[in-house]
């Protein structure tokens, strides 16, 4: 398997940079994708970047990652707090998983304080804005 990192994004993150900049900032998801692809290429890694508003589509992508990826960076968005199915899919993925949240979920409503995905994630980054994705990629660059 070559050095491929899957970057998976959950529901509504397609609106990043277009709504609620006071919480999520001004960068779009396309900006984040370009930044990660550029950084990964400089380190000999390849990014597979994906966003979906559909739980099953994210699960299918995690299954695909099982024999295509060396790691997963995932911002499951609202599915973080609801999805046992995404947790189960990640539990069937054998390489490292880093969970990223743009906002500090622990400073927000109590329903955002619990994450099913954190039961599987090797690392969790929250509250660093979109830089959290870059920090997660750095973790994989260090491993490679
Ligand atoms: O802070 C994060 O990254 C979250 O995963 C974002 C989710 C939220 O449900 C989680 O609790 C924390 C929401 C993603 C929605 O993203 C938007 C971005 C811009 C405008 C509207 C929604």
Residue 1's pLDDT band, with cuts at 50, 70 and 90, is low
The protein residue whose alpha carbon is closest to atom 13 in ligand 1 is: 77
81: closest CA among 47, 126, 139, 122? 126
Q: What is the pTM of this model?
A: 0.97
Residue 20 pLDDT class (50, 70, 90 cuts): confident
Helix orientation angle between 55-65 and 84-91, rounded to the nearest 10 degrees: 10
Q: Is 112 in the pocket of ligand 1 (CB under 6 A)?
A: yes
- Helices 29-42 & 131-143, crossing angle to 10 degrees? 20
Measured between alpha carbons, how far is 126 from 69 in angstroms, rounded to an integer? 23
* DSSP 8-class letter at 43: T
The residues pairing with 125 across neighbouring beta strands, listed in sequence order, are 100
Query: Which one-letter DSSP state was computed for residue 129?
Result: T
Angle at alpha carbon of residue 68, lines to 73 and 120, rounded to 5°: 40
Marked catalytic residue, from 24, 26, 63, 113:
24
The pLDDT of residue 19 is: 85
CB 44 within 8 Å of CB 109: no
Strand arrangement of the beta sheet that strand 4-9 belongs to: 46-51, 4-9, 71-75, 97-101, 123-126
In the residue annotation, 101 being an active-site residue is answered as: yes
- Ligand 1 atom 5, closest CA: 77
In the annotation, is 6 catalytic? no
* CB-ligand 1 contact for 75 (6 Å cutoff): yes
Average pLDDT, the chain: 97
What pLDDT digit, counting tens, does each position of 56-91 carry? Answer: 999 999 999 999 999 999 999 999 999 999 999 999
């Amino acid at each position: 398997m070559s050095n491929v990192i899957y970057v998976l994004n959950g529901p509504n993150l397609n609106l990043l940079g277009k709504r609620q900049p006071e919480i999520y900032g001004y960068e779009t998801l396309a900006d984040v994708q370009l930044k990660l692809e550029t950084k990964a290429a400089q380190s000999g890694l390849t990014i597979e970047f994906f966003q979906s508003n559909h739980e099953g589509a994210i699960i299918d992508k995690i299954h695909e990652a099982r024999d295509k990826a060396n790691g997963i960076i995932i911002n499951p968005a609202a599915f973080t707090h609801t999805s046992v199915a995404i947790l189960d899919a990640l539990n069937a993925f054998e390489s490292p998983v880093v969970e990223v949240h743009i906002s500090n979920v622990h400073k927000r409503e109590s329903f955002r304080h619990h994450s099913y995905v954190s039961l599987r994630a090797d690392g969790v980054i929250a509250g660093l804005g979109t830089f959290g994705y870059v920090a997660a990629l750095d973790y994989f660059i260090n491993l490679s």
